[in-house]
C-alpha cells in the first residue's frame, strides 16, 4: 500500500531564507507527484505537478524535484516571504486514475 | 468560471442525522471526487466519479453515498452521521480521465467543515 510521508511536520524560518520541504513515498510505481498549498480554512491550490518521466518542475521561486527510484521529492522555495506561510501537501497518483494519496503536510511559517 | 463550489461551508449535525454535502463545478470536468481531511492528516479519498452515471469507492467509503446524475454535480450523502465523520470535506474535479503526459491537475473546492455531536 502506497504511503506518503512529509518531513518536517512544521517549519519556521526568517524571511529571505531558502528552504526545502521533503516528501517520501513507499511505492516507486507512480504516475505523477504533485505539490499543493493549503491556506488556513481554504481549499488546496496546485503548485507543481511532476510526471513520472520528469525529474523536476519550476514555477517562479518554486522548484520541485522527483527521484522515483529512491521514492523522494523535494520542494525548494527560494527567498521565502511571509506570504509563503501555509501548509504544503505532497500527493502521488499511483496510476492514471486521478486517485491521489496525500502526505500529512508541512506547516510553514515565514517570519518577517 | 466559479470553479468548484461546495455548500454548506459549515454544518453541525447530531449523531444519526443524515445530510447531503453539495459539490458543483462549471468547467465541464469529467472526473470528480470527495476527500476528507482530519487534523494532522492528509486528505483521504472517499468516493470518485469518472463521468455522469459512474461512481466508485475510494479509500474510506463507509458511511457515505454518492451519485452523479449530471456532469456538473457530485453530492456526498451521509446516511447516519457519526462523531467519527467530523472532518473537513473537500470536493475536487479534473478535466479528463486517463490523460497522458498532461499537466492538468485537480481543482479543489473551499471545503465543508462538518461537526457531528
Residues A21-72 have pLDDT tens digits of 999 999 998 989 999 999 988 889 999 999 888 999 999 999 999 999 999 9
Looking at every residue in chain B, the average pLDDT score rounds to 91
The reply to whether residue B40 touches residue A104, judged by beta carbons under 8 angstroms, is: yes
Closest of A89, A94, A84 to residue A14, by C-alpha:
A84
More confident residue, A73 or B100: A73
What 3 state SS string does chain A have? Answer: CCCEEEECCEEEEECCCCEEEEEEECCCCCCEEEEEEECCCCCEEEEEEEECCCCEEEECCEEEEEECCCCEEEEEECCCCHHHCEEEEEEEECCCCCCEEECCCEEEEEEC
In degrees, to the nearest 5, what angle opens at C-alpha A31 toward C-alphas A29 and A34? 115
Say how many C-beta atoms besides its own lie within 10 A of residue A63's C-beta.
Answer: 16
By the 8 A CB rule, do B90 and A91 touch?
no
How far is B52 from B45, CA to CA, in rounded Å? 19
Q: What is the model's pLDDT at position B99?
A: 56
What residue in B sits closest to A99 (Cα-Cα)? B45
Q: From the list A89, A98, A99, which residue is nearest B42 (CB)?
A: A89
Which residues of chain B are under the pLDDT cut of 50? none
What residue in B sits closest to A42 (Cα-Cα)? B110
**Cell output for B82:** 457519526
Q: From the list B43, B50, B109, which residue is nearest A102 (CB)?
A: B43
Min distance A91 CA to chain B CA atoms (Å): 9
| Chain B positions with Cβ closer than 8 Å to A | 4, 31, 33, 35, 40-45, 48, 50, 58, 90, 92, 94, 97-101, 103, 105-111
Counting residues of chain A whose pLDDT is more than 90, the rounded percentage is 82
The reply to whether residue A43 touches residue B40, judged by beta carbons under 8 angstroms, is: no
The reply to whether residue A49 touches residue B58, judged by beta carbons under 8 angstroms, is: no
Q: What is the model's pLDDT at position B102?
A: 57
**Cell output for A45:** 491550490
Model confidence at A94: pLDDT above 90 = no
Q: What is the model's pLDDT at position B63?
A: 95
Q: Enumerate the residues of chain A whose CB falls inside 8 A of the CB of residue B108.
A: 36, 43-45
Amino acid at each position: 500500500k502506497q504511503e506518503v510521508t512529509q518531513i518536517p511536520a512544521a517549519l519556521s524560518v526568517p524571511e529571505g531564507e531558502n528552504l526545502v520541504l521533503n516528501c517520501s513515498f513507499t511505492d516507486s510505481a507512480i504516475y505523477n507527484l504533485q505539490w499543493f498549498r493549503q491556506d488556513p480554512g481554504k481549499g488546496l491550490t496546485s503548485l507543481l505537478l511532476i510526471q513520472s518521466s520528469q525529474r523536476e518542475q519550476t514555477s517562479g521561486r518554486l522548484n520541485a524535484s522527483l527521484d522515483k527510484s529512491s521514492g523522494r521529492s523535494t520542494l525548494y522555495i527560494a527567498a521565502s516571504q511571509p506570504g509563503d506561510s501555509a501548509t504544503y501537501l505532497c500527493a502521488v497518483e499511483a496510476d492514471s486514475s486521478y486517485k491521489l494519496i496525500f502526505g500529512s503536510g508541512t506547516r510553514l511559517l515565514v517570519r518577517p | 468560471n466559479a470553479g468548484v463550489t461546495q455548500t454548506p461551508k459549515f454544518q453541525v449535525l447530531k449523531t444519526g442525522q443524515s445530510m447531503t454535502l453539495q459539490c458543483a463545478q462549471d468547467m465541464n470536468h469529467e472526473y470528480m471526487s470527495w476527500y476528507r481531511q482530519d487534523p494532522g492528516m492528509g486528505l483521504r479519498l472517499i468516493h470518485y466519479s469518472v463521468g455522469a452515471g459512474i461512481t466508485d469507492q475510494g479509500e474510506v467509503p463507509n458511511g457515505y453515498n454518492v451519485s452523479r446524475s449530471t456532469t456538473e454535480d457530485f453530492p456526498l450523502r451521509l446516511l447516519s452521521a457519526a462523531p467519527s465523520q467530523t472532518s473537513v470535506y473537500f470536493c475536487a474535479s479534473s478535466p479528463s480521465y486517463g490523460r497522458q503526459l498532461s499537466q492538468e491537475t485537480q481543482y479543489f473546492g473551499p471545503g465543508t467543515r462538518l461537526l457531528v455531536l
